Structure 1
Amino acid sequence: MQVMKWSVIALAVAAGTTQMAMASSQSESKGFVEDSSLNILSRNLYINRDFHRGGDATNYSNSSDNPKGYTEEWGQGFISTFESGFTQGTVGFGVDAYGLLGLKLDSGKGRAGILEMPQGSDGRSQDDFSEAGGAVKVRVSNTVLKYGNQFTALPVFSTDDSRLLPEATTGTLLTINEIEGLEINAGRFTSLNQQWQTDRDSGEMKSINVYGASYSFTDDLSAAVYASDLEDTFKKKYANINYNLGLADEQSLNFDFNIYKTDYDKKAYGSSLDNTIWSLAAAYSMGAHTFTLAHQRSSGDKGYEYGADGGGTIWLANSVQVRDFNAEDETSWQARYDIDMSTFGVPGLSFMARYISGDDAKVGGETGVSRWERNLEAKYVVQEGVAKDLSLRVRQATVRSDQAFGSDNDLEDVRLIVEYPLSIL
């Protein structure tokens, strides 16, 4: 799961629009060293999850090591990324690299499994874990071909970054920005390294082909179409439309529509199954306040599945802090409120509250199954001084569900996140 996918999509489109230009990026290259950057993100994450019906974190554990239904871990992560510039000339060459380091600050056999750190056969988290990777890249005009270890953020193949360290993948990605406002992507990836593992192919992914494009028609209207084929597992199609309507001063109305169509492979699922899931969010902004309503609906032979194609591959409005509301036939609604305190003299401080209710799900042969989730969040970003851009965030989630969803679906989730980005080059 990832949080605020809708906002991420809008920001990504906006960022892409400002970067795309008719002029050749390669012709403006200053050189391999001159355009290089080195950044380090320090992430301190504490998380605890209290399962009210005796659930556990077996998704990330070797066995059920939390019989009391409680997980609690604290870790320090360092995410370093190096991006070289491109050599000058008609064809430019460069390299990208990353280094990841995770340190256990507090955990125990009876509490492990939620922070997503590697665990031994005794159920204890490792004291530290690390990973490094690199990729080579070639640029002609505004077209870049990259091969090697990398992070991806495509709606049909998105590596997850919701815990201490991010997922990474290995493969080839072609990105074309030759027409202003239009970005075309095509790639093939052959391995996925999960967040809680250091093995390059811990996700056991055979291969995935991805392709698609996003286009900004105007500053207020954009659309995207993507597709993927995860070998011997499923095929997905995705579409998005985002429209921003300016109203009076400091007022606007934004609409964001996302839809996935998945066809599951008979070889993996025993029969040919399908799923269609879509969400529509409407956000009204008035000065410091933003009010959002969202509706999401799943239909077909089974629920929407993801993870084998990247833990972040669910760009839907009701994919929130803990749950995704993506079960078979599930219908869900969300009401959300955001406030930016800069208007009231406290720049960098913001608050968010939302409530999501899901109904009519089909789970384990039962129909009409329901659940709900409530999220609260407070965040502060230092605006100036030595600690500029240091962010502190507190997140809390409460989940309640019918028994059919299982013992791990009634819980309280608390996270404390401190991040500090440091630019070296």
Structure 2
Amino acid sequence: MQVMKWSVIALAVAAGTSQLAFASAQSESNGFVEDSSLNVLNRNLYFYRDFRNAGPDRNDDPQEWGHGIIGTFESGFTQGTIGFGVDAIGLLGIKLDSGKGRAGSGLFPTGSDGRSQDDYSEAGGAVKLRLSNTVLKYGDQFTALPVFSTDDSRLLPEVAEGFLVTSNEIEGLELHAGHFTAINAQDQTYHDSIGLKSADVLGGSYSFNDDLSASLYYSDVEDAFKKYYGNVNYTIGLGEAQSLNFDFNIYRTKYDKEYTDTGSSEKNTIWSLAAAYNISAHTFTLAYQKSHGGFDGIGYDYGVDGGGTIWLANSIQRSDFNAEDEKSWQVRYDLDFAEFGVPGLKFMTRYVRGTDADVGDTTNGKEWERDIQVGYTVQNGPAKDLNMRVRQATYRSSDGVYYGSPSIDEVRVILEYPLSIL
């Protein structure tokens, strides 16, 4: 995997040298203030989870409602050979409805009395330098790398601390290198609430053309694991309003013995292949995912390196289908109502089934999940870009070893309204 990683990156560089690099973004800088932006995302989220037949150890069903405000300021870069700038993040979560016995949804911090806090907030900043088309950023930031990705599935997102270099010197080629020392959880505000010691990341992606791209990444998380990731995405045009897309993802994880508590290092390989056929307003998707190896029922593990660090086809609303030796398949259908005169209205449903998981006292653990989502984005008027989504998930497993309950029903209602201040 490592040999392939460097070979593909070298091929991408070689291909890129035969093309003209982008015009220097730094040479086109208008200034620190002139290129600044300030955006505020208002997120209103209702979360309900019903642990059906969970037994006496789990009587509470989380049911909470909150409003989150996510503010991001990005300055421009000063003019000159090397540009300087700053970014800032401001987060505020406000509880609208909860109560003792209904907490634990992951939306809010929970106090010693078992109740969710009324509000919580966090602020951070970062400095950045730009030379040509390469940016060095140090401080608090959101990340979206396949081996280090902050999660944004609740009221407020995770925030990582460290430095990240992003380079786009060659057309089609994007390279990343970074070192991170902390991540704050979505429902916490104190420094490094996840327990990350340090993580080094390296890799990149290359677009060969509009239809074919590849990515290769590596990470080393201190006292946890080393990960290798690869992706190939290919789209075939099949005529007017038709296409076929293939998306392949693979992780190879080597766990440190300090992490497994087994006295020895363990390994896991997990991969997924999805094929999506699009015709006009309809998209039909089939996917298969397979996990090989692991320890104590754990196949592919993540979280200390960011709650979004699982770029696999069958990582969906409730389950990731990533247990030791588990295999799973998915069928999915998407419908875009723009073709029927209602732009902004979309529908999605999917079903995923997993088998042969080595968990607990069985090597044949089974689980399945069905998701339904309806969403609408306002297209114009005073509420333009207001997005409304209703997400429902039904989850069942054969033996209850998944997530502490064999039966879970879940509903999320999400309203998001982005505002561009600058």
Q: Normalising to structure 1: TM-score of the pair? A: 0.92
Contact kept in structure 1, 2:106 and 2:186, CA below 8 Å: no
> Aligned in 2, Cα 1:330/1:35: closer, same or farther, shift over 3 Å?
same
Q: Which amino acid aligns with 2:75?
A: S
Contact kept in structure 2, 1:192 and 1:204, CA below 8 Å: yes
Q: Which amino acid aligns with 1:104?
A: K
Following superposition of structure 1 onto structure 2, how do residues 96-111 of structure 1 map, counting pairs within 5 Å? 96-111=87-102
1:263 aligned residue (254, 273, 277): 254
Q: Partner of 2:203 in structure 1?
A: 212
Q: Partner of 1:6 in structure 2?
A: none
Contact kept in structure 2, 1:335 and 1:356, CA below 8 Å: yes
Q: Partner of 1:280 in structure 2?
A: 273
2:283 aligned residue (281, 284, 290): 290
Following superposition of structure 1 onto structure 2, how do residues 125-144 of structure 1 map, counting pairs within 5 Å? 125-144=116-135
2:217 aligned residue (205, 222, 226): 226
Deviation at 1:346, TM superposition (A): 0.5
Equivalent residues, number: 397
Contact kept in structure 1, 2:126 and 2:139, CA below 8 Å: yes
Deviations 1:160-212 (A, max 9, x none): 00000000011010011000000000000001101111012111111000000
> In 1, distance between residues paired with 2:60 and 2:50?
6
Deviation at 1:69, TM superposition (A): 3.9
Deviation at 1:288, TM superposition (A): 0.2
Q: Which amino acid aligns with 1:44?
A: N
> In 1, distance between residues paired with 2:204 and 2:162?
19
Secondary structure at 1:318 match in 2: coil
> In 1, distance between residues paired with 2:307 and 2:400?
24
Deviation at 1:317, TM superposition (A): 0.3
Secondary structure at 1:403 match in 2: coil
Q: Partner of 2:381 in structure 1?
A: 385
Deviation at 1:268, TM superposition (A): 2.0
> In 2, distance between residues paired with 1:201 and 1:30?
36
2:325 aligned residue (329, 341, 354): 329
Contact kept in structure 2, 1:77 and 1:103, CA below 8 Å: yes
Q: Given the alignment of the two structures, is residue 171 of structure 1 paired with residue 167 of structure 2, yes or no?
A: no
Contact kept in structure 2, 1:54 and 1:69, CA below 8 Å: no
Following superposition of structure 1 onto structure 2, how do residues 300-339 of structure 1 map, counting pairs within 5 Å? 300-302=293-295, 303-339=299-335
Q: Which amino acid aligns with 1:305?
A: D
Q: Given the alignment of the two structures, is residue 398 of structure 1 paired with residue 389 of structure 2, yes or no?
A: no
Deviation at 1:115, TM superposition (A): 3.6
1:351 aligned residue (336, 347, 350): 347
The 10-residue stretch of structure 1 (265-274 or 84-93) with the greater mean CA deviation from structure 2? 265-274
Q: Partner of 1:15 in structure 2?
A: none
> In 1, distance between residues paired with 2:366 and 2:249?
23
Secondary structure at 2:170 match in 1: coil
Deviations 1:243-288 (A, max 9, x none): 0100110000000000000000012213210100000000000000
Identity across matched positions, percent = 66
Contact kept in structure 2, 1:53 and 1:69, CA below 8 Å: no
Q: Partner of 2:11 in structure 1?
A: none
Deviation at 1:344, TM superposition (A): 0.3
Secondary structure at 2:169 match in 1: coil
Deviation at 1:408, TM superposition (A): 2.2
Contact kept in structure 1, 2:66 and 2:107, CA below 8 Å: no
Deviation at 1:55, TM superposition (A): 6.9
> In 1, distance between residues paired with 2:236 and 2:76?
38
RMSD: 1.3
> In 1, distance between residues paired with 2:94 and 2:34?
33
> In 2, distance between residues paired with 1:98 and 1:27?
27
Deviation at 1:116, TM superposition (A): 2.6
Where do 4+ consecutive residues of structure 1 move more than 3 Å?
none
Q: Which amino acid aligns with 1:35?
A: D
Q: Given the alignment of the two structures, is residue 408 of structure 1 paired with residue 405 of structure 2, yes or no?
A: yes
Listed as ranges, the gaps of 5+ residues in structure 2 are 1-19
Q: Partner of 1:4 in structure 2?
A: none
Deviations 1:351-380 (A, max 9, x none): 000000000001013111111000000000
Q: Partner of 2:81 in structure 1?
A: 90
Contact kept in structure 2, 1:47 and 1:115, CA below 8 Å: no
Contact kept in structure 1, 2:108 and 2:120, CA below 8 Å: yes
Q: Partner of 2:17 in structure 1?
A: none
Deviation at 1:21, TM superposition (A): 5.6
Q: Normalising to structure 2: TM-score of the pair? A: 0.92
Secondary structure at 2:62 match in 1: strand
> In 1, distance between residues paired with 2:319 and 2:294?
20
> Aligned in 2, Cα 1:218/1:75: closer, same or farther, shift over 3 Å?
same
Q: Partner of 1:187 in structure 2?
A: 178
> In 1, distance between residues paired with 2:177 and 2:39?
27
Deviation at 1:152, TM superposition (A): 0.4
